Amino acid sequence: MTTSATPQQASALNGRATNQSAVVKGLATSQSAVLKGRDFSRAMIDAYELRLQPLRESTRMRILSTLIAVLAVCMFVSPALAQTPAAPADQMTPATAPALPILKVFQFPSNMIPRIDGKDDDWAIVPDSYTITLADMHDDEKKHAAPDPKDLDIHVKVGWVKGLNRLYFLYEAYKNYWDFADPGLHNDTFEVVVDGDRSGGPLIPRFRNNADQDEWDAHFSMHGVQAQNYHIMTPAEGKDWAMAWGCQPWDKELPYANHAQTYNFRPGQSGHYILEFYITPFDYASCDGPDRAVESKLYENKLIGLSWAVINYEGTPDGKNNGFWNLSPQHTMYGNSTYLRTFRLMPLEPQFRKPIDAKWSFKVIDMNRRLVAFQDESEGQIASWKWDFGDGTDSSDQFPIHQYKAAGEYVVVLTVEGPAGKSRLSKIWDVTLR
């Protein structure tokens, strides 16, 4: 049986809904106002008590109790919010800026690794799209509105090789006045900062997270540890080729770095300069030496943090530079790797790839059970895989896990097939089990 509400009941129901809606809106308004420091809690309660009068006393008291509780919480929380200390200026999160394009690191084929000889012929295979010039940088000291190639002209290419945790650089520069006679830091400089795992954060004591830490304690605990800064002297004459700015000068020496340069000018003269070098990025470059260091693993399509600046001196009497040409939009990228540009380690360019190429690796999961996991790393368009495990068994899985029954040395063969044909790779006795 369906019944209709009386006009009085309908009015009461509508009034209750209206009043409850008003309470919800009032709560939001009151919370916002309290957070802004406007003390009108008592006025709010009085106003809502009048509006709730049409409701039954029990309902009215329940809603008022809820309102009072919420206002009490707001009053308790808001002073804490208001008293939160502001972050220091150099720790403030910067406003979101337009995303910058991801720059590219060229992959050299393994049979075309650059020779570190101070010549640019090995780099002729690198497309122009990988070149970064002074036009891609800016003088963030605002001494120059735009680059003038008659005064300073820069071209930089960066490369990598699959299987090596190295970044290769070709730095070519023309200057109308080279300044490199001083035995100290005053020198035309190519300053490179790299963060191999793109973890970001401070890398010099000035920007250390623990402001109460002694500066020299910070130097020997974090300076250059998670990202590395190299002040490379261009040219270096009668001095070391670079200052590794941190507590690990070993990372600028072989086998972690190497360099060669070519030039035929003297201090104060103009001329063309070529610097070829490689460095090894570290996720952890220990102040205690390379034995405790952790190299950054480089692989295809990995994103890394990388930037550089060209510090241009011109022999002025005051010893000041004539420009700080920065690839990063943030001047302090030299000490905070959060501000580095993003680079992608590119795959091989199409002209250097084989149409189909069988490649694989393996890992012994459990030596006691002779359990081995095989990893297909073939390149090209692959339609089928055939593994010969060398013990009379095979598999068509792409990533098989195989258990051997006996100890021994095994010849394992992977054959892949696709639209471009077939490719085979065997490894002789790499898989050896006890």
pLDDT at 18 over 70: no
The per-residue pLDDT for 318 is: 86
Please write the tens of the pLDDT for every residue from 177-222. 999 999 999 999 999 999 999 999 999 999 999 999 999 999 999 9
* Burial (CB count <10 Å: 0-12, 13-18, 19+), residue 305: buried
Q: What angle do CA 232, 123, 152 make, to 5 degrees?
A: 50
Alpha-carbon torsion angle 167, 168, 172, 178, nearest 10: 70
Give the start-to-end residue ranges of the domains of the chain: 7-82, 100-350, 354-433
Q: Do domains 100-350 and 354-433 have the same CATH topology?
A: yes
Output the CATH code of domain 100-350. 2.60.40.1190
The answer to whether domain 354-433 has CATH 2.60.40.10 is yes
What is the C-alpha to C-alpha distance for residues 234 and 190, in angstroms, rounded to an integer? 7
* Burial (CB count <10 Å: 0-12, 13-18, 19+), residue 345: buried
The per-residue pLDDT for 57 is: 53
**8 Å CB contact between 116 and 276:** yes
Those residues with Cβ within 8 angstroms of residue 397's Cβ, 6 or more apart along the chain or in another chain? 385, 387
Q: Tokens representing 80?
A: 């804490």
- Higher-confidence residue: 115 or 98? 115
Tell me the average pLDDT of the chain.
Answer: 85
Between 71-75, 244-248, 379-383, the lowest mean confidence (pLDDT) is in 71-75
**8 Å CB contact between 297 and 343:** no
**8 Å CB contact between 373 and 231:** no
Those residues with Cβ within 8 angstroms of residue 425's Cβ, 6 or more apart along the chain or in another chain? 358, 359, 360, 413, 414
Find, among 172, 171, 165, 162, the residue nearest to 108 by Cα. 162
Those residues with Cβ within 8 angstroms of residue 434's Cβ, 6 or more apart along the chain or in another chain? 367, 407
The per-residue pLDDT for 218 is: 95
Per the DSSP assignment, residues forming a β-bridge with 426 are 413
Helices 7-35 and 57-82: crossing angle in degrees, nearest 10, is 10
**8 Å CB contact between 299 and 348:** no
Band (pLDDT 50/70/90 cuts) for residue 60 is low
**8 Å CB contact between 405 and 389:** no
pLDDT at 86 over 80: no
- Higher-confidence residue: 26 or 115? 115
Between 41-50, 125-134, 300-309, the lowest mean confidence (pLDDT) is in 41-50
Q: 76 to each of 46, 72, 383, how far by Cα in Å?
A: 20, 6, 66
